[in-house]
Amino acid sequence: MVKLRGSNSGGHLGWATRRCAVCSRSLVVGEDEVYRCPSCSERYGTYFCSSDSRTLHYRCPYCGRPLESLL
């Protein structure tokens, strides 16, 4: 995946951290596989980890649309 470089490499990862909507696992964008629903992520801010997206058959549990990778 993508690693942060330059002035963004060290320090606080708050802007690059998301929470899984199902298991509440902390996900770092660029290090972990993060999936999102195109419509629900804009409205509700829902993101999913790789294990939960596999369990959900890569479908959003709220609207039923296919999940897509964040990167």
> Global pTM?
0.79
Return the pLDDT at 30.
85
Domain assignment present for 4 = no
**Domain total in the chain:** 1
Domain assignment present for 10 = no
Phi, psi of 59 (to 5 degrees): -125, 145
pLDDT digits (tens, 9 = 90+) for 10-63: 666 767 889 999 999 999 888 899 999 999 999 999 999 999 999 999 999 999
| Inter-CA distances, 35 with 53, 54, 55, 63, Å | 7, 10, 12, 15
Structural domain of 59:
15-69
Domain assignment present for 50 = yes
pLDDT digits (tens, 9 = 90+) for 39-51: 999 999 999 999 9
Domain assignment present for 25 = yes
Domain assignment present for 9 = no
